Amino acid sequence: MTLPVTVLDVVAVRRITPRTARITFEAQALADDVGGTPDQQLKLCFPRPGQREPVLPAQQDDPMGWYRAYLAIPEAERPLLRSFTLRRRQPGTRRIEIDFVLHGSTGPAAAWALRAAPGDRLGMVGPSTLYAPPVPFAEAAVAADWVLLAGDETALPALATLLEALPAGVRALAWVEVADTAERQELVSRADLEVRWVHRDGAAPGAALTAAFRGAEPPAGEPLVWMAGEAGAVRALRRRLVEEWGVPKPRIDFTGYWRHRLTQDDAPTAEDLADAQERLAARS
């Protein structure tokens, strides 16, 4: 199975909160299954300074061939890669929506999104069902007594698609940390949903969300947990759920989307590598 590489043209830019931009792209090519399942991960290719559009790796015939082709691009021309989640595909079109958290002007993704306008161009690698979990989230949720989804604003695109995929009759809890009240987004689900918004109000990333679980009592029965956000905060919250709520580790799907004071270009820490190994073992 190949990992698709395509060109994206900006069609529209809309602020859905003061710090989040929803950008609509027209893809030059898009597989039929894109947007058909929740939490579809992809990589965006951003142009280097001085480039109007990124130089993209050639399409390859094997899943990791794109990365070898990417590394073969001269470093001065090689696009900057950042990971995102598909928020939505507009039915019957090649138009997709991706949310950008505007957390400053230094990172390539946020800096690009701050000035994005119709006609701008990016590249996209993925998404692909190759990396889908062995048991679909909605199917696993039906088999559980309750579902918890937790994260920060970077997790909201994936979290929202997972909630939208849940059927009626599922008990779902969504605990989300955002900067302040203005950053709340509407979350829609057919499930029996309870949403708790936690405001950071200047605290360190993840501190408010982790603290919110202190003293809270988990629902009775078998859980299913999904969480994502700042890597250190995800680790701390996972420990709390295991040690204080008694959630078995195999029942927690966790991902560190970003790292405080580090970028995706920085080398992984020992904790990052340990997390990756544990996630691979859980899915094997």
| CA separation for the pair 200, 207 (Å, rounded) | 8
The CA-based angle 224-227-232, given to 5 degrees, is 135
Helix (H, G, I), strand (E, B) or coil at 39: coil
The total number of residues written for the chain in this structure: 284
Strand order in the sheet with 252-258: 192-199, 171-178, 146-152, 223-230, 252-258
| CA separation for the pair 100, 153 (Å, rounded) | 10
Residue 280's pLDDT is what?
56
pLDDT, tens only, 209-256: 999 988 889 999 999 999 999 999 999 999 999 999 999 999 999 999
Question: What backbone torsions phi and psi does residue 224 show, to the nearest 5 degrees?
Answer: -135, 125
Amino acid at 16: I
pLDDT, tens only, 260-274: 655 555 545 666 555
pLDDT, tens only, 140-150: 999 999 999 99
| CA separation for the pair 258, 230 (Å, rounded) | 5
Helix (H, G, I), strand (E, B) or coil at 195: strand
Question: What backbone torsions phi and psi does residue 229 show, to the nearest 5 degrees?
Answer: 150, -150
pLDDT, tens only, 42-98: 999 999 988 999 999 988 888 788 999 999 999 999 999 999 999 999 999 999 999
What is the model's pTM? 0.91
What tokens were used for 187? 């979350």
Using an 8 Å Cβ cutoff, are 47 and 37 in contact?
A: no
Using an 8 Å Cβ cutoff, are 67 and 128 in contact?
A: no
pLDDT, tens only, 164-207: 999 999 999 999 999 999 999 999 999 999 999 999 988 888 89
Helix (H) or strand (E) holding 82: strand 80-85
Domains contained in the chain, CATH given: 5-129 (2.40.30.10), 133-283 (3.40.50.80)
Helix (H) or strand (E) holding 237: helix 231-243
| CA separation for the pair 229, 200 (Å, rounded) | 13
Burial string for 9-25 (b: 16+ CB within 10 Å, else e) reads bbbebeeebebbbbbbb
What tokens were used for 203? 């605290």
Which residue bears the tokens 């992809």?
A: 42
